[in-house]
């Protein structure tokens, strides 16, 4: 009889121990799907950034186009609105590379963000690829919710590794940049000066025949000195960002 009482007591004690343990265990909290956002998504703020694009038209004259980049809530799309741009395939490729480089630099999650690129120009602008560096700068700025100074302009292609490649028409672009109020013009490394070849024609009379020859004399142009705008060379986007974003 005493043995049975001990067993019964043990069972009762065990029951209350298990009851206490079960009551202390909390059921897992169910988090709504809308709250399961990454840090980058939570910090995303719809934004618009403007930047000037130095370019050359079909006659080789310097012109300035307007670029607007908008970041809005969306589905990870890249949308373009480009008018009067020759070689627009080059421009769209540059936009894609600019988005990739900007995403790598900022670490932003763009799966729920749409980027809208609008380029406006008064003339048919050539060399769409030369806008790559500016496209990247503007994309980084819109993702970081920064504004860009209007007195700094840049030309250069953009490569997937973030390096800035050479372009043509530097002299004409620098002049156009100064004409719209830019004080600093960023160019690809090695393009701070330009070599022009000046034709020199000489003629010699030999009997009844005049023989003429044309030689081309190289002339080095210092863009900063000859145009009157400060020029700095940059090799990659991180170098260029120092002049655009504090």
Output the pLDDT for position 221: 76
Q: Is the pTM of this model over 0.85?
A: no
Active site residues: 130, 173
The length of the chain is 246
Cα–Cα distance for residue pair 131/167, rounded to 1 Å: 9
The domain ranges of the chain are 39-190+223-244
Instruction: At 103, give phi and psi (nearest 5°).
Output: -65, -40
Instruction: Give the Cβ contact number of residue 158 at 10 Å.
Output: 30
pLDDT digit string (tens) for 170-223?
999 999 999 999 999 999 999 998 776 778 888 888 888 888 888 877 777 788
Output the pLDDT for position 83: 62
Determine contact, residues 66/131, Cβ cutoff 8 Å.
no
Residue with tokens 């145009």: 227
pLDDT band at 97 (very low <50, low <70, confident <90, very high): very high
Interstrand relation of 157-158 and 164-165 (parallel, antiparallel or unpaired): antiparallel
More confident site: 194 or 68: 68
pLDDT digit string (tens) for 142-153?
999 999 999 999
More confident site: 121 or 54: 54
Q: In angstroms, how far is the first alpha carbon of the chain from the final one?
A: 87
Per-residue pLDDT for 24 more than 50?
no
CATH of domain 39-190+223-244: 3.30.230.10
At a CB cut-off of 8 Å and minimum separation 6, what does 223 contact? 170, 171, 174, 185, 187, 192, 193, 194, 229, 231
């Amino acid at each position: 009889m005493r043995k049975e009482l001990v067993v019964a007591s043990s069972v009762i004690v065990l029951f209350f121990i298990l009851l206490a343990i079960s009551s202390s265990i909390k059921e897992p909290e169910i988090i709504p799907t809308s709250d399961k956002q990454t840090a980058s998504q939570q910090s995303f703020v719809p934004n618009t950034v403007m930047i000037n694009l130095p370019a050359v038209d079909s006659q080789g004259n310097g012109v300035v186009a307007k670029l607007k980049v908008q970041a809005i809530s969306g589905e990870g799309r890249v949308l373009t609105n480009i008018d009067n741009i020759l070689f627009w395939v080059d421009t769209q490729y540059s936009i894609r590379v600019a988005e990739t480089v900007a995403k790598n630099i900022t670490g932003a999650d763009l799966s729920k963000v749409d980027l809208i690129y609008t380029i406006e120009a008064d003339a048919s602008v050539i060399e769409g690829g030369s806008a790559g560096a500016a496209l990247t700068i503007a994309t980084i700025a819109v993702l970081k919710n920064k504004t860009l100074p209007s007195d700094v302009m840049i030309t250069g292609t953009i490569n997937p590794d973030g390096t800035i490649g050479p372009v043509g028409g530097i002299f004409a672009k620098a002049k156009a940049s100064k004409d719209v109020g830019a004080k600093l013009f960023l160019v690809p490394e090695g393009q701070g000066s330009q070599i022009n070849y000046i034709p020199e024609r000489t003629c010699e009379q030999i009997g009844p025949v005049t023989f003429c020859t044309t030689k081309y004399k190289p002339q080095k142009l210092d863009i900063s000195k000859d145009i009157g705008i400060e020029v700095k060379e940059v090799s990659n986007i991180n170098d260029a960002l120092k002049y655009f974003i504090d």
